[in-house]
Amino acid sequence: MRADENRDLRQLLSLLDKVDTWREMTASPSVAWQVQPGSPLAGDDAKTDPYQVSHSAWHALTVAVDHMQCLRSSVVSELTDRSASVSIHTHAQSSLIRGAFENGARAV
C-alpha cells in the first residue's frame, strides 16, 4: 500500500469512528431533538403547523447517519489498535457516501 493510500485510509477510519456518537444522538431522545425557540427552524415549524419542518430535518439526519453506519460496517471488518482489515468496493460504497451527503444537505 502506498503512503498516500495508507494516510487516506487512516483518515477514513478516523471519520468513521465518529459514527457511533452520531448514531447514539439520533437513536435516542435527546436535546438534539428540541428546536431552539426563536430559531429559523422554530419559525418554519410555526408557519407549517400542524406539520413540523423540524421533523423532516431530523429524519434527514437519521438517514444520513444510517448511511454512514452502513458504510462503516461495509468498510471495516476487523479493527484493532495495531491493524485494520478493510474492504473497499469500487461502486457500492460511493452510493452510501452520496446518501449521507444528500441527506445531510437536505437537513440543512
Per-residue pLDDT of the chain (108 residues; tens, 9 = 90+): 688 888 888 888 888 889 988 888 888 776 777 899 999 999 999 999 999 999 999 999 999 999 999 999 999 877 777 777 888 898 999 999 999 999 999 998
Cβ-proximal residues to 99 (8 Å cutoff; 6+ apart), any chain: 63, 64, 67
- Separation in Å, CA 71 to CA 34, 51, 61, 96, 98: 28, 32, 15, 6, 11
Q: Where are the extended beta strands (E) located within the chain? A: 76-79, 84-86
Quote the pTM value.
Answer: 0.81
Give the pLDDT score at 1: 67
Q: Answer whether 16's CB lies under 8 Å from 24's CB.
A: no
